[in-house]
Structure 1
Amino acid sequence: MKHYLILFTLLFISLAGFSQNHIIPLWENTPPLQKEMSLQEEAIQEGILRISNVQIPTIEVYLPTKQIATGKAVLIFPGGGYGILAYDWEGTDFAKWLNSQGIAGIVVKYRLPISKSLTDPKEVPLLDAQRALRLVRHQAEEWNIDPNQIGIMGFSAGGHLASTLSTQYAHQLDRELDSIDLLSARPDFSILVYPVITFNERFTHGGSKKNLLGENPDPDLVTRFSNELNVDENTPPTFLIHAQDDQAVPLENSILYYQALHAAGVEASLHIYPKGGHGFAFGMGRGAVANWREVLLDWINNLN
């Protein structure tokens, strides 16, 4: 009996060590637009895991079992005003939920523009987002993912980054490229959850705008990063969700983006709930908004 107990214990440890999630750096060596400094990433767990001062951007990959895999994947950009990342609340928790639906969930730990190690802070989040999507496309066959069914999901400021990637996926910087950089960074679909969209003074989230562009940004940069102004017919199909009582990021952000998508002939779905506030994530205990994920799954399953 003792012999079998030992074998069972060893088998359990072996299976526990075979995890479906793994972490991969986005870049080899020092990432672009970053100088070598003795800065350390910070992580604080106080109900929500808040990560700041990211120096090594990564993707954390959660793959569903092959028996239920749909071939779809979603890259997740946690929010945090471009100052921190709400890494579990708007990241790994959703990756695990997507796995249960047969969808690969991939959390992007992107660099934040307030880091002192960055040489051109405004460009860095988009650069990391482009790289993350290209890297997943590069690994698609190995990870049992359809390279034409890779979407993105962004929350709050992560929604701003996701909408920036949706409208500026082809933006190029003058830098040395590798084979992964030659792949398309265009998402196949986009999910924006209480997103920051515009940097228009009337409706923007001031903290996100300041952290990305600085105190008194050039008007041309305000226009460039007001993503409702950059939608065209090639912007991917988009699902938007917002609460009417959001006091941090006004509802108009989602409405402006939806109107731009509709005008460009892009398939879009806008869902507004009367209550939920900001940062509701799964929406548990906040009334009808808790059902938004079921609505999202219907939308994903019916994408053309």
Structure 2
Amino acid sequence: MTMDRRMLMTAGLGAALLEGTRGVAQTAAPGAGSFAAALPQPSETIDLWPNGAPGAPAVLPVEEVKERSTDTAVNDRALLNIARPRMAVFRPLRPNGAAILITPGGGYNWVVIDREGYELAALLADQGITAFVLFYRLPHQGWAAGPDVALSDAQRAIRLIRARAATYAIDPARVSSLGFSAGGHLCADLSVRFDARTYAAVDKADRLSARPFLSAPIYPVVSMRLPHAHAGSRRNMLGDAPTPEQEAAHSPDMNVPANAPPTFLIHAEDDGSVPVENSLLLRAALRAKGVPVETHLFTHGGHGFGIRRAIGKPVAAWPDLFLAWARTQGLFGS
């Protein structure tokens, strides 16, 4: 998979060709921001909650799209104040039965749209994988589930994907999760607490398992304990003065069950935002439970490289490394 701008501009075209038909009206995908979207956008979304997200604050957040790019050829949007959590769907031309839920980062302050969402979704769709980009609620905005609110959305998303497997030509057994940074924390949290009861069931989909087939936290926030915690994610999730019990409850490395899914980890040693120790702590905890784990560490890459910022660096190999590993684990079927 050659990682260059031309591929980024064309990788989503195959997925876009199948995005012309919507189902029942759903909340639209995030808007274009301050200038037009440069890459193919999803035309299909799935609301997570049929009657609105549970445990809403008295005043709902007002959604906002912030464009952070200064290059009109490439978007770098962030979605703030999410009140209607939903998935944006990227369908492949030839689905191979695999599905991946993508949880972008944003420090639990916003959710990145393009750099850690749509760009990867388009590349996965090119490989025959149906990709679902999750816009999840943020834990500091008054939702009743508090620190578990994003996990509620991720659990519900996995269950909905499985419930709609026939619609998307998906094998419900091969639904996986991949996330970046704080979204990597959510990905890891889902992989260790998929059975946690974080919301009351709303329909038959909630009878299904939320355990991912595979898990891939990419440069993830893991520990909520100092000195390795990412300060912004920790504050947005647990407040300014969390107790040791709260830190432990929301540090995935401290909650790994023996039946956690096989896990793939990528981190750069020079990550100045989320120390590499986060991935190492999770790796050690998984190995201690006998859970298969593959880990790749790169000398250079910094934080937030996603797809675009990895171009021209050794770390640009990570999507190929992930796909090769996922194939050995059975993501692409027998």
Fold match by TM threshold 0.5: yes
Gaps of 5+ in 1: 1-14
CA 58–287 in structure 1, closer or farther in 2 if over 3 Å, else same: same
2:194 to 166, 169, 174: 169
Question: Whole-Å Cα distance in 1 between the matches of residues 251 and 59 of structure 2?
Answer: 32
Structure 1 residue 37: Cα displacement: 2.5
Residue matched to 1:255 = 280
Question: Whole-Å Cα distance in 2 between the matches of residues 17 and 101 of structure 1?
Answer: 16
> Is the 2:151–2:198 Cα contact (8 Å) retained in structure 1?
no
Look up the equivalent residue of 2:277 and give its one-letter code.
E
> Is the 2:190–2:211 Cα contact (8 Å) retained in structure 1?
yes
Q: Does 1:49 find its partner at 2:77? A: yes
Structure 1 residue 35: Cα displacement: 3.3
Q: Does 1:291 find its partner at 2:317? A: yes
Q: What does residue range 52-91 of structure 1 map to in structure 2 within 5 Å?
A: 52-66=80-94, 69-91=95-117
Question: Whole-Å Cα distance in 1 between the matches of residues 146 and 233 of structure 2?
Answer: 13
Structure 1 residue 36: Cα displacement: 4.9
Look up the equivalent residue of 1:244 and give its one-letter code.
E
Give TM-score scaled by structure 1 length.
0.90
Question: Whole-Å Cα distance in 2 between the matches of residues 175 and 297 of structure 1?
Answer: 35
Cα RMSD between the aligned structures?
1.6
Structure 1 residue 18: Cα displacement: 2.0
1:198 to 220, 223, 245: 223
Three-state SS of the structure 2 residue aligned to 1:247 is: coil
CA 289–174 in structure 1, closer or farther in 2 if over 3 Å, else same: closer
Question: Whole-Å Cα distance in 2 between the matches of residues 17 and 168 of structure 1?
Answer: 32
Question: Whole-Å Cα distance in 2 between the matches of residues 46 and 177 of structure 1?
Answer: 37
Structure 1 residue 38: Cα displacement: 5.1
CA 246–146 in structure 1, closer or farther in 2 if over 3 Å, else same: same
> Is the 1:51–1:85 Cα contact (8 Å) retained in structure 2?
yes
Residue matched to 1:18 = 20
Residue matched to 2:25 = none
Question: Whole-Å Cα distance in 1 between the matches of residues 216 and 296 of structure 2?
Answer: 11
Question: Whole-Å Cα distance in 2 between the matches of residues 139 and 174 of structure 1?
Answer: 20
Tell me the number of residue pairs that the alignment of Structure 1 and Structure 2 aligns.
287
Structure 1 residue 201: Cα displacement: 0.5
Structure 1 residue 221: Cα displacement: 1.3
1:186 to 211, 214, 237: 211
Structure 1 residue 284: Cα displacement: 3.1
Look up the equivalent residue of 1:51 and give its one-letter code.
L
Larger radius of gyration: 1
> Is the 1:166–1:235 Cα contact (8 Å) retained in structure 2?
yes
CA 36–179 in structure 1, closer or farther in 2 if over 3 Å, else same: farther
Residue matched to 1:270 = 295
Question: Whole-Å Cα distance in 1 between the matches of residues 274 and 207 of structure 2?
Answer: 35
Residue matched to 2:128 = 102
Q: What does residue range 132-147 of structure 1 map to in structure 2 within 5 Å?
A: 132-147=157-172
Range that drifts further, 268-277 or 167-176 = 167-176
Three-state SS of the structure 1 residue aligned to 2:172 is: coil
> Is the 2:287–2:293 Cα contact (8 Å) retained in structure 1?
yes
Structure 1 residue 167: Cα displacement: 0.5
Structure 1 residue 204: Cα displacement: 0.8
Question: Whole-Å Cα distance in 1 between the matches of residues 257 and 18 of structure 2?
Answer: 46
Q: Does 1:31 find its partner at 2:53? A: yes
Three-state SS of the structure 2 residue aligned to 1:278 is: coil
Question: Whole-Å Cα distance in 2 between the matches of residues 161 and 16 of structure 1?
Answer: 29
> Is the 2:101–2:133 Cα contact (8 Å) retained in structure 1?
yes
Give TM-score scaled by structure 2 length.
0.82
Gaps of 5+ in 2: 1-16, 22-41, 70-75
CA 286–217 in structure 1, closer or farther in 2 if over 3 Å, else same: farther
Three-state SS of the structure 2 residue aligned to 1:148 is: helix
CA 286–243 in structure 1, closer or farther in 2 if over 3 Å, else same: farther
Structure 1 residue 232: Cα displacement: 2.1
Question: Whole-Å Cα distance in 2 between the matches of residues 191 and 239 of structure 1?
Answer: 5
CA 199–65 in structure 1, closer or farther in 2 if over 3 Å, else same: same
